[in-house]
Amino acid sequence: MAENPSKTPHWSGTGKLRGGRSGIWFFITVLRVLGLRVTYLLIVPVAVYFSFMSPDVAATMDYHRRVFGNVPWWKRRWLVFRHFLSFGRAIIDRTAILAGKQKYFSFSFEEEHHVHKALGLGRGALLVTAHVGNWEAAGQLLTHLDVPINVTGFDNESADIRALLSQSSRAKFRLLPLTGSPADAIPLLAALRRGEIVAMLGDRAYGSPSKEAPFLNGTASFPIGAYVLASIANAPLVTVFNLREPGGHYRFFGFPAQFPKMPAHHLRDDYLKNCAATFAQNLESTLKRDPLQWYNFFPFWNEPAAPTIPKPASELCPNPSSR
């Protein structure tokens, strides 16, 4: 269990955007005045700078070695640049979508019936995703479900940056900030019991309870709070991801719903480990589509270990076929 965050946490776990108020204002203004294509061009020198000067380069290269294997030094640098450029483009897309400029993009939803089926039970739906692609793009597809969408996340921006983002945003989501307190679960549970959607990220523990799982030739910690919450609320849990494709098209897809039920106490540890492993397997299969759309730029793995074979998901983390 990873329950004690570092005294000097990585920027990705602070709930703050990098760049400060001036940087965010600059890109919002360029987007409004000059359009999306010019804004994309402006992030190229930024990506070049960060691909050499960012403290996250070493961790990014470690991820690339796990995905691409050993490659020449020039290709390592090229992959880092492309990865940071992809991240910058995702931030620009996020800003554009929040500002109501959906006309620049197209969207499609594979396996949408998994979400419809979950909502049809009348117990809400807990969607677990990752820092893959662009969640705001996926949210555009969820709004047509006509169900309130509650997005969890850390919200530690300064008041002026938060106001700047709010001014540019036409978001249709309700943000439920996380503080790390057990009381965070109260509004999430209430939303599920009202039959609403709750969206959570499943690839960063942020110091919350987690379990280790095999992932890309090593072991990493994945949060397990979503499975505990779904069990308490008696709500279905659907793992979902979305990826950007050429031409500004976003493809959203989901996996069959799970129905977590906490077993007897002496079996609970294995149960939650298997749930974490199932999510890790789904994430790994998704990253094979486009490895450079995973935006976890920090040391993610524990000491490398040989992958273990988890117990079947149908045995420990139930899905519809096991009900």
Q: 13-322 in CATH: which number?
A: 3.40.1130
CA-only gyration radius of the chain, Å: 19
- Give bridge partners of residue 175 from the DSSP assignment: 151
The per-residue pLDDT for range 250-291, each reduced to its tens digit, is: 998 889 999 999 999 899 999 999 999 999 999 999 999 999
Question: For the chain, what's the residue count?
Answer: 323
Contact in structure between 222 and 213 (CB atoms under 8 Å): yes
The per-residue pLDDT for range 47-106, each reduced to its tens digit, is: 999 999 999 999 999 999 999 999 999 999 999 999 999 999 998 888 787 777 788 888
Residue ranges of alpha helices (H) inside 143-264 are 159-168, 185-193, 225-233
Q: Given a cut of 70, is residue 121 above it in pLDDT?
A: yes
Cβ-based burial of 265 (10 A; exposed 0-12, middle 13-18, buried ≥19)? exposed
Q: Which amino acid is at 116?
A: H
CB neighbour list of residue 120: distance below 8 Å, 6 or more residues apart: none
pTM for the model stands at 0.82
Cβ-based burial of 255 (10 A; exposed 0-12, middle 13-18, buried ≥19)? buried
DSSP conformation letters of 20-66: HHHHHHHHHHHHHHH-HHHHHHHHHHHHHHHHHH-TTHHHHHHHHHH
Kindly indicate the confidence band of residue 144, based on its pLDDT and cuts at 50, 70 and 90: confident
Spatial separation of the C-alpha atoms in residues 6 and 71, rounded to whole Å: 32
The per-residue pLDDT for range 209-261, each reduced to its tens digit, is: 899 999 998 999 999 999 999 999 999 999 999 999 999 999 988 899 999 99
Contact in structure between 168 and 33 (CB atoms under 8 Å): no
Cβ-based burial of 164 (10 A; exposed 0-12, middle 13-18, buried ≥19)? middle
Residue ranges of alpha helices (H) inside 99-204 are 113-119, 135-142, 159-168, 185-193
Q: Which pLDDT score is estimated for 151?
A: 83
Contact in structure between 66 and 216 (CB atoms under 8 Å): yes
Q: Which of 242, 284, 291 is nearest to 112 (CA)?
A: 242
Beta carbons within 10 angstroms of residue 5's beta carbon: 15
